[in-house]
Amino acid sequence: MMPFKGFGLVLLTFLVSVLALGAYCETPYEKFLRQHYDNPKSNVGKQYCDVMMKRRGLDKPACKEVNTFIHNTKNNIKSVCTDTGGKDYGNGLRIALRPFTVTTCKLKGGSTRPPCKYSDNKSSRYIVIACNENKEPVHFDESIIVTV
């Protein structure tokens, strides 16, 4: 195989740089939205969690074990970061003042290697999140489940 020369090497270097930078250009708020926001709930068929986890890149490099999608508006989710929609829950977390409809996806089986298979559970619960200085959600606490 002939090594890259001239323009080909420059192009390859450029493409690798763009791809590497792209992974770091996602803000914490954008990452939160990619991982947890789905409103209205996507109509993807019976395997909602299998499809959504793959679509959102939560199956690489390994299958994420638990992930929750929130089915409400961005503004309602952001309001949890304010006194009108949420209250302090300790440890830098805030809890919603009203319940949200969510779908929780849990990995089935013992392996975290793709292909990933998930079970899903739709429920109503008070979401618990961490917010940044701009009052935007940046972390969903999967371990705290406060149901209606």
Check which CATH number belongs to the domain holding 33 and give it.
3.10.130.10
45 falls within a domain:
yes
Can you list the positions of beta strands (E) in 33-142?
A: 66-70, 86-90, 93-96, 100-107, 118-126, 128-131, 137-140
- Averaged in consecutive runs of 10 residues, what is the pLDDT profile of the chain (148 residues)? 50 45 80 98 96 97 97 98 98 98 95 94 97 98 86
| Structural domains in the chain (count) | 1
3 falls within a domain:
no
14 falls within a domain:
no
pLDDT at 10: 44
Catalytic residue among 32, 35, 36, 89: 36
Classified as helix, coil or strand, 134 is coil
Is-catalytic flag, 139?
yes
Domain of residue 56: give its range: 26-147
17 falls within a domain:
no
pLDDT at 109: 87
Catalytic residue among 51, 101, 139, 141: 139
